[in-house]
């Protein structure tokens, strides 16, 4: 979730209501980001944004949906490029195999998070405590989801190496270049995605479970 634009050096420790009082046009920015400056106006901007960082909805919207939209068409592009250039660039076959592993593994991982982890977090945010049944499920799945993240990171590293950091060879056609750009974007988004889960959301859940 991108932070609300702050081109006017906004003081994040002030409440939403106070910020709108200061500059009424800020209300439009807050509305666009679904920040309640009216009934929830006594929250500081920093707090309002922090809660959103944790929200599974933001991860689904910004990361899971992107992967669901991108993996198949990018897989087709990889296939086209490998068919055309695999002879001159044999490393492309290895790249295709690694990409196919991501394409196979990621949807299963996303579904597990959406079915087992995120509903528990939504309930927790709403009720203020983790349900015991959900806690048992979380204790079981967080470790294996973390292993998936490691594996994804390894696949990305392999693709990064095989493409020499997404460098186009001299003879690369426009499709080859487009494939490299999109693979680089995939790496960037997945790194951000895994960071949000592994370093922000999951530790937050674990802290709650330990308390």
What residues line the site for Fe ion (CB under 5 A)? 113, 197
Q: What is the DSSP string of 84-148?
A: HHTTT-THHHHHHHHHHHHHHHHHHHHHHIIIIIHHHHHHHHHHSS--HHHHHHHHHHHHHHHHH
| Strand, coil or helix: 44 | strand
Is the Cβ of residue 153 or residue 178 nearer to Fe ion in the bound state?
Answer: 153
Which residue is closest to Fe ion by CB?
A: 197
For the bound state, the minimum distance from the C-beta of residue 58 to Fe ion, rounded and expressed in Å, comes to 11
Is the Cβ of residue 142 or residue 180 nearer to Fe ion in the bound state?
Answer: 142
Biggest alpha carbon distance in the chain?
65
Is the Cβ of residue 93 or residue 122 nearer to Fe ion in the bound state?
Answer: 122
For the bound state, the minimum distance from the C-beta of residue 35 to Fe ion, rounded and expressed in Å, comes to 24
Angle at alpha carbon of residue 166, lines to 164 and 169, rounded to 5°: 75
Is the Cβ of residue 113 or residue 187 nearer to Fe ion in the bound state?
Answer: 113
Look at the chain and count its residues.
211
Helices (H) and strands (E) in the chain, counts: 10, 0
For the bound state, the minimum distance from the C-beta of residue 63 to Fe ion, rounded and expressed in Å, comes to 6
For the bound state, the minimum distance from the C-beta of residue 59 to Fe ion, rounded and expressed in Å, comes to 5
């Amino acid at each position: 979730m991108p932070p609300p634009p702050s081109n006017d050096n906004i003081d994040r420790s002030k409440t939403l209501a106070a910020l709108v009082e200061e500059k009424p046009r800020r209300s439009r920015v807050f509305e666009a980001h679904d920040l309640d400056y009216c009934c929830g106006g006594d929250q500081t901007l920093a707090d309002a944004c922090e809660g959103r960082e944790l929200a599974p909805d933001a991860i689904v919207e910004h990361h899971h949906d992107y992967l669901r939209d991108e993996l198949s068409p990018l897989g087709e592009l990889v296939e086209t490029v490998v068919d055309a250039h695999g002879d001159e660039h044999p490393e492309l076959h290895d790249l295709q195999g690694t990409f196919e592993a991501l394409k196979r593994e990621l949807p299963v991982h996303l579904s597990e998070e959406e079915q087992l982890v995120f509903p528990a977090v939504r309930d927790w945010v709403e009720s203020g405590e983790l349900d015991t049944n959900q806690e048992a499920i979380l204790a079981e799945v967080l470790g294996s989801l973390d292993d998936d993240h490691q594996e994804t990171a390894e696949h990305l590293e392999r693709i990064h190496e095989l493409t020499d950091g997404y460098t186009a060879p001299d003879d690369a056609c426009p499709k080859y270049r487009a494939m490299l750009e999109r693979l680089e974007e995939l790496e960037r988004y997945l790194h951000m995605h895994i960071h949000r889960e592994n370093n922000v959301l999951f530790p937050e859940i674990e802290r709650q479970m330990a308390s």
